[in-house]
Amino acid sequence: MIFTNAQAVISYLYTLPKLHDKADLSYIKRVLAVLDNPQDKIKTIHVTGTNGKGSTSYYLSNLLQKAGQKTGLFVSPYVFAFGERMQVNGQNISDDQLVIVANQVERALSKISRKESNFALSTFEYEVAMAFTFFAQVKCDYAVIEVGIGGRRDQTNVIIPEVSIITTVGLDHEKLIGPTIEDIAREKSGIIKANRPVVLGNIPTSVLPIIEQQANQMHAPCYLLSRDFTVNSNQRLSYQDKQHKLEFFIKPEVESYDIAVAVQAFNLLKIPLTAAEIVAAINQTVIPGRYQILQNDPLIILDGAHNLQAMSNLLEFVHQEQNKRHGQVRTLIMMMKDKDLGPVFSLFNDTDQVELTTIDYPRAAKKQDFPKSIQAKYSYHEDWQQAYNKLKRVSTSHDILLVTGSFYLVGNVLQLEAGK
């Protein structure tokens, strides 16, 4: 197969299987070997965590760019365009570059298939192969690599990073890497590599020993939030470790953890950057679809929170803002049907207006996918655009309109607003 345009590449990716029967790294390692192991030609930082890994990756990328490093960034999902998945110095991979690297991966697969006719990659494996090929081809100094799911068996776990990061551990993707939080902690600790430092964020004390034991076995120096570096958000957001004391713009508390982890990881790289430059890089970072303020009158917040931990953090922030504004919280939520669709709704206040919706996407939950108690309690709208416009129209200057549950819905709203 030869690709001639970017849309053909993207369309093809979504015809591939999501998973292999064998959950290991043999497929991705095989194709990367034929591609001459591009992942070994760049320095990397590996980021996992139930929540916060995307934000941390964006903060780190900006810090590296501020320090003059040519920086790759591999993240998921995308909000506006597929090219967000693979960025260099904040710029999405171009359509032409996407076609070039996809055809390189295809040529590698053709070589393998001469001996193994049934050899094929999953969608994510193909994306990982393209990303490493792209970053090596453009000669990145560093690439920040966000894990897809878990860590130990994730297809990105083929690198020996300069620093590993575990932002949080909570319940999500239990069917793949659970079912318990201890199982999830073990899976995420699999990104820790021998003699390479690991930075730990807001880790529950119940599973911290699991991760620390893995770090000890790997002789990996371990830096833990609130022990080796601290952050607090009173009047200003303050970060402190043994060498630095920094102050940033105030951010939601959960974002403060991600900032602290990113700064600590960056400091371990020993790349020169002044305190003022570090602060500027963090303050200038915009993370699409994460605590994103669309407007202030009414306050419209977009966030792709899609699990219990992320939604709990988000709603805590939203209700704090509500206490300042004394208005109504109105929420438009769409979720994927393979998520646990009940528990997140227990986090809303009884006074919150919550509206369910869906989008044109195979995994998007429809009304019948929600528990009957949720169907009975909240209104459902098949047309997300009409539902969003209605909530926006009835919201007053004191109100808060929250769009959440999926980055796909957030992306749709951003594109709608950009087209106005």
Helix, strand, coil abundance in the chain, percent, nearest 5: 40, 20, 40
In this structure, are 229 and 82 located in the same domain? Answer: yes
Percent of the residues in the chain that have a pLDDT greater than 90, as a whole number: 71
Give me the amino acid identity at 393.
R
In this structure, are 272 and 308 located in the same domain? Answer: no
pLDDT of 414 over the 80 cut: yes
DSSP-derived 3-state class of residue 286: coil
Token duo for residue 274:
């002044």
In this structure, are 279 and 298 located in the same domain? Answer: no
Residues 360, 138: Cα–Cα separation, whole Å:
36
Give residue 17's pLDDT.
85
| C-beta separation of 268 from 195 below 8 A | no
Dihedral of the alpha carbons of 10, 81, 172, 26, in degrees to the nearest 10: 40
Domain count, the chain: 2
pLDDT digits (tens, 9 = 90+) for 168-204: 998 765 455 547 889 899 999 999 999 999 999 999 9
pLDDT digits (tens, 9 = 90+) for 108-123: 999 999 988 888 899 9
Reported as a pLDDT band with limits 50, 70 and 90, residue 69 is very high
pLDDT digits (tens, 9 = 90+) for 152-163: 999 999 999 999
Residues 367, 333: Cα–Cα separation, whole Å:
12
In this structure, are 222 and 306 located in the same domain? Answer: no
In this structure, are 152 and 199 located in the same domain? Answer: yes
Classify the C-alpha dihedral 216-217-220-223 as positive or negative: negative
Consecutive H or E run containing 275:
helix 275-283
Give residue 103's pLDDT.
98
Residue 100 forms part of a structural domain? yes
CATH of the domain at 242: 3.40.1190.10
Expressed as residue numbers, the domain containing 339 is 292-418
Token duo for residue 401:
């309109």
Consecutive H or E run containing 248:
strand 245-248
Cut 0.85: pTM above it: yes
DSSP-derived 3-state class of residue 199: strand
DSSP-derived 3-state class of residue 404: strand
In this structure, are 16 and 77 located in the same domain? Answer: yes
| C-beta separation of 170 from 135 below 8 A | no
| C-beta separation of 39 from 96 below 8 A | no
Give residue 173's pLDDT.
52
Give residue 176's pLDDT.
58
Residues 77, 97: Cα–Cα separation, whole Å:
19
Residue 383 forms part of a structural domain? yes
Residue 1 forms part of a structural domain? no
Per the document, the length of the chain is 420
pLDDT of 235 over the 70 cut: no
| C-beta separation of 303 from 413 below 8 A | no
Residues 230, 240: Cα–Cα separation, whole Å:
5
Reported as a pLDDT band with limits 50, 70 and 90, residue 341 is confident
pLDDT digits (tens, 9 = 90+) for 1-31: 899 999 999 999 989 988 777 778 999 999 9
In this structure, are 325 and 255 located in the same domain? Answer: no
**Any idea what the Cα angle at residue 306 is, between residues 343 and 227, rounded to 5°?**
95
DSSP-derived 3-state class of residue 145: strand
Q: 7 CB contacts (<8 Å, ≥6 apart)?
A: none
Token duo for residue 11:
């369309």
In this structure, are 166 and 143 located in the same domain? Answer: yes
